[in-house]
Amino acid sequence: MSIAHTQPLTMTPPEMLRDVHFDGEMEKKISALLRRYPTKQAALLPVLWLCQERWGWLPASVLQAVAKRLELSPAFVEGVTTFYTMYNTQPTGKYLVQVCTTLSCQLCGASGLTAHLKERLGIDSGETTPDGRFTLLGVQCLGACGEGPVVQINNDYYTNVTVEMLDQILDELPE
């Protein structure tokens, strides 16, 4: 039975993001978000999410466009973006493999998973495989400690993960 259920991320290459515009569809979504809050600024986090979903990552040009749209200073937007660990200001691999490194998961053997991944992928935490397929990241508690060890790949949680499961998942993930 297949257990992997994650779709790959697509990273828009930097040269295609030199000049960022919001097309009609993005604009529509942004306007809808703006209606939720009494200030434009409050839409910052959701708009950043929208952009990251659209382009895969958040280079300076995107931050600039967001700042302009929400009438904020670009420095402010970058300050906010880098405060939160889930906004990627650098491109990642197609699969962002995040292993929980916090206590409960570690008590259940998560460190073995990290070691295994490092060896299998030949990269360290924070690095991306040369083929751009995987980025490995040790992260803090994912809020599913009762099902540790927990691994999050892109948006999806994998729980009670063992080395064997992990191998199977990595093998099954689509191109």
Partner 1 sequence: MVSVTIDGHEIQVPEGTNVLEAAKKAGITIPHYCYHPALSVVGQCRVCMVEIDGAPKLATACSTQVRDGMNISTNSERATEARQAVLEFLLANHPLDCPVCDQAGECYLQDYAFDFGLDTTHMVEEKRTYPERERRMLGPHVIQNQNRCIHCTRCIRFTREISETHDLTMKARGNHQYIDTFNGEPYDNPWSACAADVCPVGALTVKEFRFRARVWRLEETRSICPGCSIGCNIMIGHRNGVVYRFMPRENAEINGWWMCDHGRFLAEDLNARDIDRPLIRSGGQLAPATWSDALEELARIIGAGTDARVIASANLSNEALYLAKKLFAEKLGLKMLVPVETGPGRSIKNAHKEWIRSEDPHPNATGARLIGLNVGDASRLQDFLITSSGPVVILDAGAHPLLASQDIIQAIKNQPIVAMANAHTPMTRAADLVFPVASWLEAEGTYTSSTGRVQLAERGAHPSDEAKAAWDILTLMARALGADPGPVTRPQQIFEELAAEVPAFAGMTYRRLSNEPGVPVLEEVAHVG
Partner 2 sequence: MEPILLRAEHETNSKALTTSLKLGGYSALKKALIMNPEDIREEVKKSGLRGRGGAGFPTGVKWGFVPQDLPKPKYLICNADESEPGTFKDRKLIHTDPHMLIEGIIISSYAINAHTAYIYIRGEFYEEVQILEQAIAEAYKKHYLGKNILKTGYDLDVYVHRGAGAYICGEETALMESIEGKRGQPRLKPPFPAVVGLFGCPTVINNVETLACVPHIIERGADWFASIGRPRNTGPKLFCVSGHVNRPGVYELPLSVTYREIIEKHCGGVRDGKKLKGFIPGGSSAPVLPASAIDIKADFDSVAEAGSMFGSGALIVLDETTDMVWLLENLLTFYTHESCGQCTPCREGGNWALEIVRRIRRGYGRPEDLETLERISQFASRGMTLCPLGDAFCGPITGVLTHFRGEFEQAIAKAKPLPKKKLPALPVRSGRGTFGM
Q: Which residues bind partner 1 (CB under 8 A)?
A: 60, 63-64, 73-79, 82-83
Which of 42, 49, 123 lies closest to 88 in space, CA to CA?
49
Q: Which lies closer to ligand FES via its Cβ, residue 81 or residue 98? A: 98
The one of ligand FES, partner 2, partner 1, none whose footprint includes residue 63, by CB under 5 to 8 A per kind, is: partner 1
CB of 163 to ligand FES, least distance (A): 17
Q: Which lies closer to partner 1 via its Cβ, residue 80 or residue 136? A: 80
Task: Name the phi and psi angles at 147, rounded to 5.
Answer: -115, 25
- CB burial readout 130-143, b (16+ within 10 A) else e: eeebbbbbbbeebe
Q: At what angle do helices 44-55 and 24-34 cross, to 10 degrees?
A: 160
Applying CB under 6 A, which part among 13-21, 22-30, 33-41, 140-148 lies near ligand FES? 140-148
Residues 6+ away with beta carbon under 8 Å from 108? 148, 149
Structure tokens at 77: 């937007």
The one of partner 2, ligand FES, partner 1, none whose footprint includes residue 122, by CB under 5 to 8 A per kind, is: none
**Three-state SS at 59:** coil
CB of 108 to ligand FES, least distance (A): 8
* Among 56, 59, 91, 148, interactor with ligand FES by CB under 6 A: 148
Residues in contact with partner 2 by CB under 8 A are 36-39, 41-46, 48-49, 58, 70, 72, 79-90, 92, 96, 101-104, 106-108, 126, 137, 139-148, 152, 155-157
Q: Which lies closer to partner 2 via its Cβ, residue 121 or residue 167? A: 121
Residue carrying structure tokens 């991306």: 128
* Among 103, 109, 132, 172, interactor with ligand FES by CB under 6 A: 103
- CB burial readout 54-82, b (16+ within 10 A) else e: bbbbbbeebbebbbebbebeeeebbebbe
Q: Which lies closer to partner 1 via its Cβ, residue 44 or residue 117? A: 44
